[in-house]
Amino acid sequence: MAMIAFKCPDVTVVVVDINQARIDAWNSDALPIYEPGLEEVVQACRGRNLFFSTDTHKHVGEADIVFVSVNTPTKTRGVGAGRAADLTYWEGAARMIAAVSKTSKIVVEKSTVPVRTAEAIEKVLTRNNSHPGVRFDILSNPEFLAEGTAMEDLAKPDRVLIGGRDDEHGRAAVERLASVYERWIPTERVLRANLWSAELSKLTANAMLAQRVSSMNAISALCEATGADVEQVSKCVGTDSRIGPKFLSSSVGFGGSCFQKDILNLVYICESGKVSVFFHFGSGLFLPLARVRARAREIEKQKKQLTLYPRSLSVSLSLSLSLSLFSSSFTHSSVGLTQVAEYWHSVVAINDYQKQRFVSRVIEAMFNTIAGKRIAVLGFAFKKDTGDTRETPAIDVCKGLLADRALLAVFDPKVTEAQIHEDLHLEKFAWDHPRGGAGASGPDASPSTPRARDVEVVGSALEACRGAHALCVMTEWDEFKGLDFEKIYASMVKPAFVFDGRNVLDHARLREIGFIVYGIGKPLDPFIKKD
């Protein structure tokens, strides 16, 4: 949204959030997120045509276009738990928009959502619209951004995708939003599609990118077994013009907020089929009648997991909102796409396997036990140039090492100590849900707990490695390449191990110094290789 304000100085952009602390941070010199180039853009526009506010009702009511960027986390309970997207926050956002709108608006999906979500949201908006003559046009405008390069991606995107209904009003709404982007993006890069195609395109793009990563990670295991070098294989494959070199680097696994979540959402859609929506109204429901009896039996089996309660959230919208919302659910009619679901689920399975395999390599190499041994973990963010830890492979790797009673010393130049402890405390898929004060500041994350006792967050890579038996590179930060490894080696317990989960270090040089080195998909060190 900051980029729209930057490129369109005559357009007023208001980002709203119910979290006062977050809005205060956006209005300060210490922005709440780290993204290269973001601070400069915000400072250039803030107070001119970019504003941050907690007055959601005022600004949403006055807006012509409302970009909704609420969380769509993976459900942790109930129907579709562990796969389906939780659309609680989207439903609540729609209800609020309908309640405060006295003029017609274009409502834009920015969150990654299941296919046909727009149809469901449209029903919420129209059925809660109390002002005659007010019209809501729903558009899908998914983001195709990468943390660390987001500002560059926004300034010079490969494409901008806008999906809308194929009718007079829908086409007009699409063109109105397109006219904003075409202020700085070539027209041919602003793509038009129908709503469902736009929604599915985002899921598909992330799934296919993740598929490339998982494919090379699967090959990395074969490389280690045969003596091949995955980097050489990747280079050879990437020179094929039909394939290209991007997303072919093998690693300990992919992370981030989208890849795994979107694939699992895609799996759920394939397993379950066409969306038909039902909503909770207080303690009541309405469902298509034909499905009530069948769904009731399923819900009865899971009733101990189902909880209806208000939830608070903290989210950001452009010209719009975040707020406390009520629970909603989406169910599907089966179309039997089991094979398709299994195909995409295998992408996630390989990613989990890669992390498990890395942990096993560490334990097996270090004489099959790491209990009481200090292991330095260099990097915790899911990739370099970001402080984002959502679904970072470091979480599962650290939990795997802790399960074998290792002592961890963690360093990341952008991730805070509180965030690291919170991430290691949370259950799977909980990171995107409101936690009501639990987490790093809660009692379970206090220094008295075993996990916190076993995890030390330090201020430098050298400090993390001091007295360590091994170091594990979990994030490809450039600064790790230039570390004084001779000094690090001298400070470590011998034999000293390096487990390079990103293949960013000079392995030959490390072996010259005296390290025992393991790289993903690289020929195994004689010390590690089994006869």
Q: Is 465 a catalytic residue?
A: no
- Distances 429 to 236, 267, 318 between C-alpha atoms, Å: 36, 16, 26
3-state secondary structure of 362: helix
Q: Are 190 and 162 in contact (CB under 8 A)?
A: yes
Instruction: Give the helix ranges, DSSP H, for 87-227.
Output: 88-100, 117-127, 150-155, 168-181, 195-226
**Rounded CA separation 95/122 (Å):** 10
3-state secondary structure of 416: coil
Catalytic residue (choose from 8, 223, 236, 258) = 258
The C-alpha angle with vertex 20 and arms to 17 and 23, in degrees rounded to 5, equals 60
Locate 336 and state its tokens.
């039997």
Tell me phi and psi for residue 513, to 5 degrees.
-65, -35
- Distances 407 to 372, 396, 470 between C-alpha atoms, Å: 6, 15, 11
Locate 409 and state its tokens.
């010393």
Locate 228 and state its tokens.
């091949």
3-state secondary structure of 498: strand
Tell me phi and psi for residue 246, to 5 degrees.
-75, 140
Locate 250 and state its tokens.
């093998």
Edge-to-edge strand list for the sheet holding 50-53: 50-53, 13-16, 317-318, 65-68, 105-109, 136-140, 160-164, 190-194
**Rounded CA separation 193/71 (Å):** 24
Locate 133 and state its tokens.
């003559």
3-state secondary structure of 46: strand
Q: Are 58 and 85 in contact (CB under 8 A)?
A: no
3-state secondary structure of 6: helix
- Within 10 angstroms of residue 225's Cβ, the number of other Cβ atoms is 9
Locate 56 and state its tokens.
């959601």
Instruction: Give the helix ranges, DSSP H, for 31-87.
Output: 38-45, 56-62
**Rounded CA separation 378/446 (Å):** 23
Q: E-assigned strands of 438-512?
A: 455-457, 470-473, 497-500
The residues carrying an active-site annotation are 258
